[in-house]
Amino acid sequence: MKTRKLGNSLEVSALGLGCMSMTSAYGPAADKQSMIKLIHSAHDQGITLFDTAEAYGPFSNEDLLGEALQPIREQVIIATKFGFDIDLITGDRGGGTNSRPEHIRAVAEASLKRLRTDCIDLFYQHRVDPQVPIEDVAGTVKDLIAEGKVKHFGLSEAGVQTIRRAHAVQPVTAVQSEYSLFWRGPEIELLAVLEELGIGFVPFSPLGAGFLTGKIDEHTQFDAGDFRNFVPRFSPEARKANLALVEVVKAVADRKDATPAQVALAWLLAQKPWIVPIPGTTKQHRLEENLGAVELALTGEDLRLINEQMSQIQVQGERLPEPALKMTGL
Domain range list for the chain: 3-325
Q: How many CB atoms neighbour CB 102 within 10 A?
A: 9
pLDDT score for 208 = 98
Confidence of residue 122 (pLDDT cuts 50, 70, 90): very high
Confidence of residue 235 (pLDDT cuts 50, 70, 90): very high
pLDDT score for 140 = 99
pLDDT score for 254 = 98
pLDDT at 95 over 90: no
pLDDT score for 186 = 98
The residue-averaged pLDDT of 232-256 equals 98
pLDDT score for 104 = 98
The catalytic residues are 56
Residues whose CB falls within 8 Å of the CB of residue 279, separated by 6 or more in sequence, listed in order = 15, 17, 18, 206, 207, 261, 265, 290
Residues whose CB falls within 8 Å of the CB of residue 32, separated by 6 or more in sequence, listed in order = 64
The residue-averaged pLDDT of 252-257 equals 98
Q: Give tens-digit pLDDT for 296-308.
A: 999 999 999 999 9
Distance CA 274, CA 278 (A): 13
Q: Give tens-digit pLDDT for 16-41.
A: 999 999 999 999 999 999 999 999 99
The closest of 32, 77, 30, 25 to 56, measured between CA atoms, is: 25
Confidence of residue 266 (pLDDT cuts 50, 70, 90): very high
pLDDT score for 117 = 98
Q: Give tens-digit pLDDT for 165-200.
A: 999 999 999 999 999 999 999 999 999 999 999 999
Longest Cα separation, the chain: 54
Residues whose CB falls within 8 Å of the CB of residue 145, separated by 6 or more in sequence, listed in order = 151, 152, 153, 170
Rounded to two decimals, what is the model's pTM?
0.98
pLDDT score for 229 = 97
Are the C-beta atoms of 275 and 15 separated by less than 8 Å? no
The residue-averaged pLDDT of 130-138 equals 98
pLDDT at 253 over 90: yes
pLDDT score for 199 = 99
* Residue 247, Ramachandran bin (φ over 0: left; ψ between -120 and 50: alpha; else beta): alpha
Topology (CATH level 3) of domain 3-325: TIM Barrel (3.20.20)
